[in-house]
Amino acid sequence: MAFRADEAAKTGFEELERYFVPRLRDVDEDTRAESKAKLQEIVAELGPVVKSYPSWHPLVRHHDSRSPETVPGERCGYQGLDHTMYLANGFITCPYDHEKGVRVFESVEKLAYRHHAAVITAERLDVQLYAKNAVPILVRCNWIKRMPTDGSIPLAVAMPLLLETELACAEWSTVAETWETMKPYFLGNPHGSRSSLFVNQETGQAMKKIWQGLIQTGMFGPVRE
């Protein structure tokens, strides 16, 4: 089935609302309307809901493991995350207690200036999300370069990040993985064969071509068929 970005974005927003907008039995309709409006505002700014990030994305690339990370967590440097959903250029997390909220802010502050491509920041949201006692926090990936109007990450930004992440693997890798194996890590989820909610078809095709050229050099070892 062909990847349809519009359908994926629509489905994702419906899931975001179901997850974060308080139930009517717990709050009044005005509070729910305020929560929905804030979520719409955030998605308009930070892009659609996603299941996971490309392994080269600034929100997940800060780790020392040889295994790629695709969702924010302790291995990427974050502390205190709870009840979290992801957007293309940020994520919302709603820990229950104030102490966990403080840990989120402290960990994001440590990550903020660790890369030249983006600055990571966090802010407390002024609406009720998930539950009455939750602490809603928005973590942003603030790109240094201007992004295209379609919201995708251009090749000039995505490819250097991918290369920074993957070329280091040549020091210890024993086999080269094909595009089919690596595309969930390079495109993020949801994705198609060459595009996702992060990169468009043109960028994805170029990334695929460059990756295929790299693995043919033998720098990662023989290609795993």
**151-179 pLDDT, tens per residue?**
899 999 999 999 999 998 999 999 999 99
Are 38 and 99 found together in one domain?
A: yes
Q: Total structural domains in the chain?
A: 2
Is residue 224 domain-resident? no
Residue where a domain stops, chosen among 143, 175, 208: 143
Q: Are residues 164 and 137 in the same domain?
A: no
Q: Which of 143, 163, 179 is the last residue of a domain?
A: 143
The token pair at 129 is 């999300």
Burial 139-149 (b: 16+ CB within 10 A, else e): bbbeeeeeeee
Same domain, yes or no, for 39 and 112? yes
For 89, the domain range is 5-143
In a domain, 196, yes or no: yes
Q: 117 and 66 share a domain? A: yes
| Domain limit, last residue, from 97, 112, 143 | 143
Task: Look at residue 149 and tell me if it is in a domain.
Answer: no
Domain check: are 94 and 192 in the same one?
no
What's the pLDDT at 1?
A: 44
Inside any domain, residue 148: no
Answer yes or no: do 24 and 128 share one domain.
yes
Same-domain check for residues 133 and 182: no
Same domain, 134 and 160: no
Give the model's pLDDT for residue 98. 83
Specify whether 13 is located in the same domain as 114.
yes
Q: Give dist(CA 128, CA 122) in Å, integer.
A: 17
Claim to verify: residue 112 and residue 195 sit in the same structural domain: no
Is the domain of 72 the same as that of 109?
A: yes
Residues 105 and 26 reside in one and the same domain? yes
The type of residue at 22 is P
Count, residues in the chain: 225
Q: Assess if residue 225 is contained within a domain.
A: no
The ranges of the chain with pLDDT < 50 are 1
Q: What is the pLDDT of residue 13?
A: 92
Q: Is residue 181 part of a domain?
A: yes
